[in-house]
Amino acid sequence: MTPRPVDNPRSPWRRVTTFTLLIAAMLAVSAAGLGGEPEYRVKGVFLYRMAHFLQWPESNLPPKAKTIVIGVVGKDPFGKELDLLEQLKPVDGRDVVTKRFKTAAEVKGVQILFLSSSLTDAEQAEIFGRATKEGFVTVGEQKKFADRGGMFNLLIEDKKLAFEANSEAAKAAKIKVSSQLLKLAKRVVTKDD
C-alpha cells in the first residue's frame, strides 16, 4: 500500500497540514477569547506545533533520537497542560516528552525550553548562553525576551496569541527555523535591530 503524501513526515503536504494546524491553534485563542481554552494549554500546543518547523543541530538531536523534549525551567505556569503534549502525535517520528527544571543549572537534554518569568535576568542570560552552545530553543513570555537573546517570545494581544522571533539567536544556536514560522511572527529580531 502506498502511503498518502500527508503520512510522510518530510512531505510538503504534511508540512502544509501542520502549518495549517499551527495557525488554527493560534486563531483558537482569538475565537475563544482565552475563555474557552486555558492560556497555557494554547501556549503548550504552540510549543508542540512549533517543533514541526524547527531543525536542531545533530549535537542536540541526533537523527536516531526517539524523543523531543519540551521543558520548563523555574516556576511552572503550565501545570498539567504541559503533560497533555505527551499524548499528541510524534514530531517527525519522535515522541514528545515533557520535563520540569527548578533551576537553570538543572537544565539538560532539551530541544525546546520555556523560561518561566520567575527566573532572574542573570539566570535567563545563563540559559541563553547555554542554548547557543548546546543547540536548544528558548521560549518565554516577558517583555524584551527576544531582544535580550530569547528565540521566541509568546504574547497575548487583544485576546490573541502572537509571538516574536529572534532569528539571530536561533542561527547562533544552529537552529534552523522555517520561513513559514517566521512569517507568522509579529516581529522578527535581526542583528540590525
Q: CATH number, domain at 11?
A: 3.40.50
In a domain? residue 95: yes
Per-residue pLDDT 10s for the chain (193 aa) are 444 444 455 555 555 555 555 555 554 444 344 445 688 999 999 999 999 999 999 999 998 999 999 999 999 999 999 999 999 999 999 999 999 999 999 999 999 999 999 999 999 999 999 999 999 999 999 999 999 999 999 999 888 899 999 999 999 999 999 999 999 999 999 877 6
In a domain? residue 192: no
Per-residue b or e along 81-95, where b marks 16 or more CB atoms closer than 10 Å to that residue's CB: bbeebeeeeebeebe
In a domain? residue 46: yes
Q: Are strands 176-177 and 54-55 parallel, antiparallel or unpaired?
A: antiparallel
State the Cα–Cα distance between residues 17 and 10, nearest whole angstrom. Answer: 12
Domain total of the chain: 1
Q: Residue 170, Cβ neighbours under 10 Å: how many?
A: 22
Domain that holds residue 103: 5-185
Q: Answer whether 155's CB lies under 8 Å from 163's CB.
A: yes
